[in-house]
Amino acid sequence: MNQPTPAIVTQRAAQRLPRLALLLFCAAYVIPGLFGRDPWRSADLTAFGFMHSLARGGADLWHPVVGGVPPEVGLFPYWLGAAFIHLLGGVLDPAVAARVPFALLLVAVLMLTWYTTYHLARSEAAQPVAFAFGGEAHPVDYARAIADGALLALVATLGLLQLGHETTPELLQLTGVGLYTYGLAANQHRSLQSRLAMLAALPLMAGSGAPTIGLALGAVGLLTCLRSELPQTRRFAPWVGAALLLGALTATAFDAWQWKLSASSPRQLVRLLVWFTWPTWPLVAWTLWRWRSHLLKRHIAVPLSTALVALASCVLMNGSDRALLLALPSLAVLAAFSLPTLRRGVASAIDWFSVFFFSTCALALWVIYASMQVGVPAKPLMNIRKLAPGFEPQFSLPALLAALLGTLAWVWLVRWRAGRNREVLWRSLVLPGSGVALCWLLLMTLGLPVLDYARSERPLVERLSAHLPPAACVVARDLPRYQVAALEALGGFRVVDERAAGAQACDHLLVLGGRTRTAPAGWQFVARERRPTDRNEFTYVYRRDPAPR
């Protein structure tokens, strides 16, 4: 017996977001940050180092290395980036060429989240209450409006903002999760597409460094299909089993079986969950409460089980934000189903908070930009030069025009939201999603020069290059992998780990240390350099002692 649905939606409230506005909104979120910057330190730069190593022929296809050390995850992301460097390297900078496919993957994640929500919202259990005299939302219109809300919720989620714009394996894993949830959601209406999506999802996750999470999702999906009351879903179970087998074979072929278990601090984990999944988690909690009698129905069970697997992985991996990233599309789907039951007072509170918070952030970015360009007010520029010594402001007319258009669009959207369309389902998420897109656009246009200066390793590589011969062979001791990747990809040096066999042939040594350090035996001190924004982390340059070895 079907439980009564809590959704009461009129046909007027089921209006979809205009398609042109939706496309421009997604473009404002995806494109900024694609051009005009270096790979940023840590995971983004490390991944680019492996792609660059493959593209320049410094390693064979099955054994990419940075500083002679292989990657810890699967090879699919590095093959993808290296292929685009080969394809677009003559037109675009290698870093931009490697970033292009990952921008397309982010687009794919947004599309898969939309279509997953659309198919789940079309299920009978998810439909709104039928009115006695008609006027309730049409099933297709209702599904489109809910899907628009899910897309807005995903873009509004803070955790996707940086990690979704990096060239890291996690974005490929996120695409695999999107394919998986789409396969489970669409098997009622798109049998061929859902089968292909499922067959691709788990091998994609296994080949990009998340085989255990992929197989856990496959096991949960198999159980969901077998216990379903719908015959189409039960017939989908063999395809989930086949995807499980392909995922296991892929992980074995890449020798990708690994699981780093580590306890996480409850306080740290709660803090991560609160900010990383904001603002979806309050809406998800409301969805689970209002739809509590439907927890075993497809539209709740599929995204909820997927999110729980990712959350469990986050807990077992010492509160890894990159594991929690895999839960964000499913949380956005769950958040969207809160919209038909959201009270008007709550929706108004979300709107007012969004207007105040994002308008304040945008104003702060414009003030900082004015200080950098014209010196008024003077305090922000003084603080920037104190925190980033050597930085000189740059002016870009295209960046300024893009920022102006984005700001004007935000002002128009606030006026539109205050004046009309108070009944549309996605009204409560249009301002949070647009506010995040606006701040990202402003940060990647007005603030990109100083941000790139602070987060790129290029300033350090340029300083070290003054003490090293071009294309020199360098021994690395205690250097983080992203710095080794920067030396190879940005500086053109050949870096060898000190434990590798070829280290004895190199005449220069780089060591990471504090303010003081004694020269190692057999080496002469040459220089000490640091990144302009680092205070206590130095890279020491040594030359091999010319005495007989």
User: What confidence tens digit (pLDDT) does each residue in 275-305 have?
Assistant: 999 999 999 999 999 999 889 899 999 999 9
Identity of residue 257: W
Measured CA to CA, the distance from residue 85 to residue 501 in angstroms comes to 30
pLDDT band at residue 349 under the 50/70/90 scheme = confident
pLDDT band at residue 422 under the 50/70/90 scheme = low
Are 474 and 487 within 8 A, CB to CB?
yes
Averaged pLDDT score across all residues of the chain: 90
Contacts of 353 (CB under 8 A, 6+ apart): none
Are 32 and 441 within 8 A, CB to CB?
yes
Q: Which tokens go with 6?
A: 């809590």
Phi-psi region at 67: left, alpha or beta (left = phi > 0; alpha = psi -120 to 50) = left
Q: Which pLDDT does position 57 carry in this prediction?
A: 84
H/E stretch holding 510: strand 508-513
DSSP-assigned letter for residue 134: S
The DSSP line for 377-423 is SHHHHHHHHHHSTT------HHHHHHHHHHHHHHHHHHHHHHHS--S
User: What confidence tens digit (pLDDT) does each residue in 483-535 have?
Assistant: 999 999 999 999 998 887 778 889 999 998 877 778 888 899 999 999 988 88
State what percent of residues in the chain have pLDDT above 70.
Answer: 98
Are 465 and 440 within 8 A, CB to CB?
no
Reply yes or no on whether the pLDDT at 1 is more than 50.
no
Closest CA to 237 of 227, 247, 251, 249: 227
Contacts of 130 (CB under 8 A, 6+ apart): 136
Region 168-181 average pLDDT: 96
Measured CA to CA, the distance from residue 248 to residue 190 in angstroms comes to 26
Region 157-167 average pLDDT: 94
Q: Which pLDDT does position 420 carry in this prediction?
A: 59
DSSP-assigned letter for residue 12: G
User: What confidence tens digit (pLDDT) does each residue in 21-53 have?
Assistant: 899 999 999 999 999 899 998 899 999 999 999
Measured CA to CA, the distance from residue 66 to residue 50 in angstroms comes to 6
Q: Which is more confident, 219 or 60?
A: 219
Reply yes or no on whether the pLDDT at 210 is more than 80.
yes
Q: Which pLDDT does position 300 carry in this prediction?
A: 94
SS3 per residue for 49-89: HHHHHHHCCCCCCCCCCECCECCCCCCHHHHHHHHHHHHHC
Q: Which pLDDT does position 483 carry in this prediction?
A: 94
Identity of residue 354: S
* Most confident by average pLDDT, 130-139, 211-220, 226-235: 211-220
Sign of the CA dihedral running 273, 275, 277, 281: positive
Q: Which pLDDT does position 128 carry in this prediction?
A: 87
Q: Which pLDDT does position 13 carry in this prediction?
A: 82
Closest CA to 333 of 303, 298, 289, 371: 303
User: What confidence tens digit (pLDDT) does each residue in 100-137 have?
Assistant: 999 999 999 999 999 999 999 999 888 888 776 677 78
Q: First-to-last CA distance in the chain?
A: 84
- DSSP 3-state assignment of 541? strand
Measured CA to CA, the distance from residue 76 to residue 39 in angstroms comes to 19
pLDDT band at residue 90 under the 50/70/90 scheme = confident
Q: Which of 124-133, 345-354, 381-390 has the lowest mean pLDDT?
A: 124-133
Q: Which pLDDT does position 58 carry in this prediction?
A: 75
Reply yes or no on whether the pLDDT at 205 is more than 50.
yes
Measured CA to CA, the distance from residue 67 to residue 386 in angstroms comes to 33
Q: Which tokens go with 269?
A: 């984990």
Q: Which pLDDT does position 517 carry in this prediction?
A: 77
Reply yes or no on whether the pLDDT at 206 is more than 90.
yes
Q: Label the pairing between strands 508-513 and 494-497.
A: unpaired
Measured CA to CA, the distance from residue 287 to residue 285 in angstroms comes to 5
